[in-house]
Amino acid sequence: MRRKIFTGFVIVWMIIIFMFSARNADVSSQDSSRVGMLAGQIFFRDFNDWDLQEQVAFAQKIDHPVRKTAHATEYAILGMLLFGAAYQTREQRRRTAVLSWGIGTFYAATDEIHQIFVPGRSGQITDVMIDSSGVAVGVLILLLLSDLAKRIRAKS
């Protein structure tokens, strides 16, 4: 049952990633700008007192890191979901981790190819590398959590 639930979440999450990738460059830039403005409000108490040009300049300055962090995060989540869907036994967890990373990396590559056909977007090898790293981080997080759970059960 757990594997079916995780598989369902994997499919839903891949659709969400695909939908974000299908947004044209203008819409994607607007999303990033909103995130940059929100970051300014979170990290600077007086951000709303800045004039609009300063706020926009801040949002533009952090646009690239915001986009790349979003890439890594969405693929870290995918990595966790893939690992949860593929995990069977503790003895096979390394194999499961590699398989999950491979599937996530393959999906990242196909997603970048997809972006070539979206107006104003492009496919980037560096984004595949960032996404692949995100998948690895997500898988590693679940590996560490499974180790932690094993240790807790052993103590009980």
**pLDDT tens for each residue of 61-103:** 999 998 899 899 999 999 999 999 998 887 888 899 999 999 9
Residue 26 pLDDT grade (very low, low, confident, very high; cuts 50, 70, 90):
confident
User: pTM here?
Assistant: 0.87
Which residues have a Cβ under 8 Å from the Cβ of 85 and sit 6 or more positions away? Answer: 3, 6, 7, 9, 10, 100
Share of the chain above pLDDT 90, in %: 70
CA distance 20 to 5: 23
pLDDT at 87: 85
Q: What is the mean pLDDT of the chain?
A: 92
What would the two tokens of residue 21 be?
Answer: 């990738």
- H or E stretch including 153? helix 125-155
Q: How many beta carbons lie within 10 A of that of residue 17, not counting itself?
A: 20
Res. 131: pLDDT tops 90: yes
